[in-house]
Amino acid sequence: MRTIVVVDYDPGWPEAFERVRSRVWPAVRDIASSIEHVGSTAVPGLAAKPVIDVSVVVPSTTEVPLAIERLARLGYVHRGDFGIEGREAFEGPNVPADHNLYLCPREGLGLANHLTVRDHLRAHPEDVQAYGALKKQLAEQFPHDIDGYVRGKTEFLITILRVAGLPPERLAAIERANTP
């Protein structure tokens, strides 16, 4: 059973992202439009679980099957969308995981969620402090319950997405994905 650990921001996280990006980009550069550092480790000053979240961005759903094939050649195992529309998840070749890899079409809900939250937090340091404190509290409250930890963050994240102007139907889809 894995223990949920949230640590203070590590200034080495952007470099860790670049290491993952440099391994993945050559395999997808002709079909992907970018590789984005997302999640809490992408926000300076934010406490996080020390696992880098990486999104490979493709122009549309058309490129998803080929990108899955290319990532498999690097040792990534496709695990599906885990209920998040427009976000394909992968198990990486490193165990324990030092990063989470996702594949997202440019217009998909998964990428919109990742980028909206990341960009909002980068621009609002007061929310960074509040979110970091919430994550630490939830890690203490749910040290072996990832579902409880995620549910505990949902209201905070929905508020950010609502303030950022995510359409109501997209907010409803995110709420459904985070409801047991």
For the ranges 65-79, 83-97, 125-139, 145-159, the lowest mean pLDDT is seen at 83-97
Whether 180 has a pLDDT exceeding 60, the answer reads no
Pairing of strands 99-105, 34-38: unpaired
Pairing of strands 77-80, 88-91: antiparallel
CB of 163 closer than 8 Å to CB of 126 = no
pLDDT in tens, 60-114: 999 999 999 999 999 999 999 988 888 999 998 876 678 999 999 999 988 998 9
pLDDT band of residue 178 (cuts 50, 70, 90) is low
pLDDT for 95: 61
The C-alpha torsion from 46 through 122 and 36 to 20, rounded to 10°, is: -30
CB of 53 closer than 8 Å to CB of 99 = yes
Query: Could you give the percent of the chain with pLDDT greater than 70?
Result: 96
